[in-house]
Amino acid sequence: MPQLFEHFIKDKIFYLVQEYINGKTIHEKIKSEETFTEKEVRKILEDILQILEFIHRRNVIHRDIKPANLIERESDNKICLIDFGAGKTISNWIATRATIIGTNNYMPWEQVRGYPQPCSDIY
């Protein structure tokens, strides 16, 4: 995950200043017809699951996990999850309906209905 350097509100708009991750997204790799070995797929999945464990333990749901939001960092080949603009704190997530945020074809049914859960990130 990119390091968060700063956050602030200006003219009623919320801004996050994060570390720039140099690398290629999984989406870019797929579009360039790059293939992945089974070992590479396992590494990608392990990296993603470690990130999800980290954010879910902090009561955050990403809500927009897709190949375009996964970057393989050039410096160490670790997968980084980016674009937390759709992220949601999960305190009271059961009781309240959330704004529907995400990308079609990557959202589970409960998220489409406005009730995202931690398992929504694994869909």
Q: Which of 39, 105, 100, 98 is nearest to 67 (CA)?
A: 105
116 and 88 Cβ atoms separated by less than 8 Å: yes
Quickly count: other Cβ atoms within 10 Å of residue 5's Cβ.
9
64 catalytic per annotation: yes
Where are the strands (E) in 39-107, listed by range?
Answer: 60-61, 70-73, 79-81, 88-89
| Residue in 11, 47, 64, 121 annotated catalytic | 64
Output the six-digit token pair for 77.
């080949």
The residues annotated with a catalytic role in the active site are 64
